[in-house]
Amino acid sequence: MGGPSWPDLQCLVRRKPAAASSTGFAEAADGGGGQRLAKTLTVPHLTAIGVGSTIGAGIYVLVGTVAREHTGPGLTVSFLIAGVAAALSALCYAELSCRFPSAGSAYHYSYICIGESVAWLIGWALVLEYTIGSSSVARGISPNLALFFGGQDKLPFFLAQVHVKGLDTPVDPCAAILVLIVTALLCLGIKESSFVEGIITTANIIVMLFVICAGGWLGFRNGWAGYKGPDGYFPNGFGGVLSGSATLFFAFIGFDTVASTAEEVKNPQHDLPMGMGLTLSLCCFLYMMVSAVVVGLAPYHAIDPDTPISSVFAQYGMQWAEYVVSSGAVLALIASLIGGILPQPRIIMAMARDGLVPPLFSVVNRQTQVPILSTILTGTCAAILAFFMDVSQLAGMVSVGTLLAFTMVAISVLVVRYAPPYEMPMEVALAGTPESLTSDSSHSEQDEQNLEDPFGNEAPSASEIDSKVRRQKAIRSIVFICLGAFIFVSAVSFSFLPFYVQMTACTIGGLLLLSSSVVLLCIGQDKSSLGPTGGFMCPLVPLLPICCIIVNGYLLMNLGSHTWIRVSIWMAAGALIYFFYGLKHSSLAGMAYHRISPL
């Protein structure tokens, strides 16, 4: 009558227990076999994976485009600001990966802290992100190889892009072959694939160090002409530096790949924060040094936006450096391809463990200790997409998945600190079964005395009531923080709105953010914890996660309407899958929730 009741809708926000997230639930999903992922990764492995995933070929192009259009010689400052903004999300990831060291990354954290439906949408968005991202990277390798063969028309047939009658986009066999090779490598095992990733990443870093050292020598020898222009260090003002930082922020995406391998790390409480920290620090240092050299060797308006580094060296008679730089671009693309395909099967495996996709995708091979079926599935989809489609126009969809994940991770940190779940799912016997009849007859008197609590919990004490009131305030404050951030970044982003509307919205959003933050600071953090952090805690909570939410929200708002239309279609398809399959087959289906006392 009249539609679903609130208890029926509560299944959308049901949360899995943190203690069982990496043990019991996973083993149940595997059919009790107990086959786990191999715990072989250490800090060097994680750093190689993180740096390889982060430093793509974009650094070989972005320095020219951003310097010409936004920052001028101030490009280095833009990289620093973008690195600091990325560090906000990295610190949130570091704490949650220590608390919940299991496969799934942002999907896993959202499931524990926010709810099943949100977690599904985040996982679904991440699958799209990594698939399109991997395909886009793979299609970029063939053009970069053309230099070594004397041009696009001289590439071997299996490397060249081929125009097929009836297709608007040329097919790219090279991209598909490389994706399949990387997929086969990942099927061999995490230790083997991380070793290869480390070799390729090291070679790429050597190329970047060559650019820094050779460029620095040329700069000191010739007087750093790029810094002596008439427009000064910030030709477009500090606003140009900030707009450049918004573009360069995406050059730091990739450290989240480290979090996706949490279940395969020997000492996650120590190694995961170290791996993420070293990844961002090394990437930020290399980005800043390369950008300082490039914009210093030539005036920013004279830099070729397509081949900025090669063109700068060519101005000093070092045309041969083009081959070194192109080698670095190819190596960066291959490393980024490995890092792009690596997290996908682990996210799908985590979703299969939770029952949201068929359980066969959670099976881990006993020899290689990787989810081979999930790896083959994701690799094949990426290879088909790379072969047939020009995914450059879909690149914005990659950013949506990443930024949504970053935002949910920041919200999850607030939930963990101020309102951690205090209910544990427990399996309930179905009505009419012998178990339920026996339970009814043996506990009938107790049930009559305590009708309100089928688990027989004692009446809550005064301290438990106070804790519940504090939790309710915390939850409301977190909701208002999200609402205030949405209003504030919308007002800032939508420049077509009248000025008084923008100012009113900014004021309302700012007041919501400020008042809710003050409430959280006053009520204090929850003394109980969902799990040990291993000593690492995200600093400056709640201010740092709130800043993270605002930064990611602003970037999401500025991705463009066409991107959001495409993402909405993908999300709608995911919602249908969840409602027709995941909702019924979830490992939490049929569970009742039992209140546990705070520690």
pLDDT above 70: percentage of residues in the chain: 85
Structure tokens at 374: 């999930």
- Is residue 17 scored above 50 in pLDDT? yes
Write the pLDDT tens digit of every residue in 473-493. 999 999 999 999 999 999 999
In this structure, of 8-17, 318-327, 371-380, the range with the lowest mean pLDDT score is 8-17
Asked if 75 contacts 63 with a C-beta cutoff of 8 angstroms, the reply is yes
Structure tokens at 214: 């050779």
- The more confident residue out of 494 and 455 is 494
At 560, is the pLDDT very low, low, confident or very high (cuts 50, 70, 90)? confident
CA distance 278 to 483: 34
Average pLDDT estimate for 489-504: 91
C-alpha closest to that of 298 among 112, 39, 72: 72
Write the pLDDT tens digit of every residue in 507-519. 999 999 999 999 9
Instruction: Give the model's pLDDT for residue 93.
Output: 96
Contacts of 473 (CB under 8 A, 6+ apart): 519, 523
- Is residue 435 scored above 60 in pLDDT? no
Average pLDDT estimate for 247-255: 90
Straight-line distance from the first to the last Cα atom of the chain, in angstroms, rounded to the nearest whole number: 42
- Give a three-class secondary structure readout of 209-230: HHHHHHHHHHHHHHCCHHHHCC
DSSP state of 594: E
At 440, is the pLDDT very low, low, confident or very high (cuts 50, 70, 90)? very low
Q: Which residues of 226-264 are buried (b: 16+ CB within 10 A; e: fewer)?
A: bbebeeeeebbeeebbbbbbbbbbbbbbbbbbbbbbbbb
Q: Partners of 425 in the beta sheet?
A: 593
At 502, is the pLDDT very low, low, confident or very high (cuts 50, 70, 90)? very high
Position 50, amino acid:
G
Residue located via tokens 């010409």: 68
The phi, psi pair for 427, rounded to 5°, reads: -70, 140
Asked if 537 contacts 416 with a C-beta cutoff of 8 angstroms, the reply is no
Exposure of 541 in the CB half-sphere (CA atoms within 13 A)? 22
Residue 325 C-alpha from the chain's centroid: 28
The phi, psi pair for 349, rounded to 5°, reads: -60, -45
Q: Tell me the three state secondary structure of residue 20.
A: coil
Write the pLDDT tens digit of every residue in 96-109. 999 899 989 999 99
- Looking at mean pLDDT, say which of 128-137, 181-190, 561-570 comes out highest: 181-190
Per-residue CA distances from 32 to 18, 23, 102, 351, 369 (Å):
19, 11, 17, 17, 16
Average pLDDT estimate for 331-355: 94
At 460, is the pLDDT very low, low, confident or very high (cuts 50, 70, 90)? low
Judging by beta carbons within 10 Å of its beta carbon (0-12, 13-18, 19+), is residue 225 exposed, middle or buried?
middle
C-alpha closest to that of 301 among 74, 78, 72: 72
Q: What is the DSSP string of 267-320?
A: SHHHHHHHHHHHHHHHHHHHHHHHHHHHHHHS-GGGS-SSSHHHHHHHTTT-TT
DSSP state of 581: I
Residue 433 C-alpha from the chain's centroid: 45
Residue 589 C-alpha from the chain's centroid: 28
Write the pLDDT tens digit of every residue in 114-168. 999 999 999 999 999 899 989 989 988 888 888 888 877 777 877 788 877 777 7
CB atoms within 10 A of CB 163: 10
Measured N-to-C along each axis, helices 268-297 and 59-66 cross at an angle, to the nearest 10 degrees, of 50
DSSP state of 457: P
In this structure, of 146-150, 233-237, 363-367, 551-555, the range with the lowest mean pLDDT score is 146-150
Residue located via tokens 């952090």: 533
Judging by beta carbons within 10 Å of its beta carbon (0-12, 13-18, 19+), is residue 9 exposed, middle or buried?
exposed
C-alpha closest to that of 335 among 247, 246, 257, 250: 257
Instruction: Give the model's pLDDT for residue 167.
Output: 73
At 77, is the pLDDT very low, low, confident or very high (cuts 50, 70, 90)? very high
Instruction: Give the model's pLDDT for residue 389.
Output: 79
Position 476, amino acid:
R
Judging by beta carbons within 10 Å of its beta carbon (0-12, 13-18, 19+), is residue 352 exposed, middle or buried?
buried
Q: Is the pTM of this model over 0.85?
A: yes
Average pLDDT estimate for 566-571: 92
Instruction: Give the model's pLDDT for residue 152.
Output: 76
Q: Partners of 571 in the beta sheet?
A: none
Instruction: Give the model's pLDDT for residue 180.
Output: 96
Structure tokens at 101: 């060291």
